[in-house]
Amino acid sequence: MKTYTIASIPGDGIGKEVVPAGQTVLQALAAAGNSFQFAFESFDWGGDYYRQHGVMMPADGLDALRDKDAILFGSAGDPHIPDHITLWGLRLKICQGFDQYANVRPTRILPGIDGPLKRCGPKDLDWVIVRENSEGEYSGVGGRVHQGHPIEAATDVSMMTRVGVERILRYAFKLAQSRPRKLLTVVTKSNAQRHAMVMWDEIAVQISKEFPDVTSDKELVDAATARMVNRPATLDTIVATNLHADILSDLAAALAGSLGIAPTGNIDPERRYPSMFEPIHGSAFDIMGKGLANPVGTFWSCVMLLEHLGEPAAAKRLMAAIEKVTADPALHTRDLGGQATTAQVTQAVCAFLQA
């Protein structure tokens, strides 16, 4: 029987609750299907590790992950450690170290979920946001001088390379081409950011010629937020920069009902390195340790992980079990207005998988 080796990195906060839940569901799926199995190796990196060792993960941490088939990640973020240390020391180290340059974020209104877009049901909102995940606003280029003095200055340079922009746009066009509507919206802010964003627009026009069957349009990021709320059905696949897509995808998740539902994959499309799957939410300090975390974002991320492994039938089976759970308000966690716990939702998904 085929064995997939998966690194699991729960990280911090509710990551420690939802990642074990994801593992439980994947094991139940494998047991029910009986055609492959999972071998999980768990890594205790994150805030606690930082308190002991002064770093979020060991210096040779990437080597420990390199041979894995995929990575299941929770969240990096600890209430007692500055966010830029936890983020750069763990999640971005893995995303950038393994050149996972495409961050793919599907959004749908799942059955039974009542989002703020009351007039919309599952058919009116079906998006995939493709986020550039290796450079741009999160390139790490910049610095501070004269710290604490009146003449202090600081920069975060949004560095875009032609190679980086071409590859993410090509990925997005390809993804749009694989979806029924073959529609891509390229989001930039090229009226104000007149160097890198203008280059994006130009490269988008150039790459569009490789995909004559894909209809593409462009939208400024501020207008894109309004369009997501007012005309959601006019959008399908969306591509944007690291920062813009980070923001748009939290909005997308909220419009689909909750941040707790939304999944993501940090993908190395060339498959040189393992790709990493995680819910888009963070450590959720306000609810951590209480069993209130919605595990659906992690379960949906597991669906993406299965698709990436080349197990589409198993992915479909898991998604169907998730949708059965969301359809039942008695199985909604507090973020969805319900009272179910993380454990109850997890058990319900497992039960549907075994049925």
Q: Smallest distance from the beta carbon of 101 to ligand NAD, in angstroms? A: 16
Tell me phi and psi for residue 202, to 5 degrees.
-65, -45
When the beta carbons of 73 and 273 are compared against K ion, the nearer one is: 73
Q: Which of 321, 353, 301 is nearest to 6 (CA)?
A: 301
Give the integer Cα–Cα distance in Å for 175 and 170.
Answer: 9
Of the candidates 16, 93, 189, 281, which one interacts with ligand NAD according to CB under 6 A?
Answer: 281
Q: Smallest distance from the beta carbon of 184 to ligand NAD, in angstroms? A: 25
When the beta carbons of 73 and 200 are compared against ligand NAD, the nearer one is: 73
Give the integer Cα–Cα distance in Å for 277 and 331.
Answer: 24
Region at 36 (left for phi over 0; alpha for psi -120 to 50; beta for the rest): beta
The binding track of 248-267 with respect to ligand NAD, each residue x by CB under 6 A or -, is: -----------xx-------
Of the candidates 246, 268, 323, 335, which one interacts with Mn ion according to CB under 5 A?
Answer: 246
Using alpha carbons, list the distances in angstroms from residue 255 to 125, 221, 226, 259, 277.
9, 17, 12, 9, 21
* Stretch (H or E) spanning 343: helix 342-354
Beta bridge partners of 216: 184
Interface with Mn ion: number of residues (CB under 5 A): 1
When the beta carbons of 69 and 278 are compared against K ion, the nearer one is: 278
β 237-240/215-220 pair status: unpaired
The binding track of 237-276 with respect to K ion, each residue x by CB under 5 A or -, is: ----------------------------------------
Q: Which does 246 bind (CB under 5 to 8 A by kind): ligand NAD, K ion, Mn ion, none?
A: Mn ion
Residue 89 DSSP class: I
The binding track of 68-97 with respect to K ion, each residue x by CB under 5 A or -, is: -------x----------------------
Q: Smallest distance from the beta carbon of 243 to Mn ion, in angstroms? A: 10
Give the integer Cα–Cα distance in Å for 102 and 141.
Answer: 20
Of the candidates 172, 248, 252, 287, which one interacts with ligand NAD according to CB under 6 A?
Answer: 287
List the structure tokens of 256: 């689909």
From the list 173-181, 183-191, 211-219, 238-246, the region that binds Mn ion by CB under 5 A is 238-246
Q: Which does 294 bind (CB under 5 to 8 A by kind): ligand NAD, K ion, Mn ion, none?
A: ligand NAD
Give the integer Cα–Cα distance in Å for 78 and 47.
Answer: 6
Q: Which of 103, 84, 254 is nearest to 154 (CA)?
A: 84
Angle (CA) 127 72 275, round 5°: 70
Tell me phi and psi for residue 295, to 5 degrees.
-85, 0
Q: Smallest distance from the beta carbon of 247 to Mn ion, in angstroms? A: 8
Is residue 278 a contact point for K ion (CB under 5 A)? yes
Of the candidates 41, 202, 210, 286, which one interacts with ligand NAD according to CB under 6 A?
Answer: 286
Compute, in degrees rounded to 10, the torsion defined by CA atoms 240, 280, 254, 244. -20
Q: Smallest distance from the beta carbon of 75 to K ion, in angstroms? A: 4
Is residue 335 a contact point for ligand NAD (CB under 6 A)? yes
The binding track of 89-128 with respect to ligand NAD, each residue x by CB under 6 A or -, is: --x-------------------------------------
Residues found near ligand NAD in the complex (CB under 6 A) = 14, 75-77, 83, 86-87, 91, 259-260, 278, 281-287, 293-294, 297, 333, 335
Name the site residues for K ion (rule: CB under 5 A).
75, 278
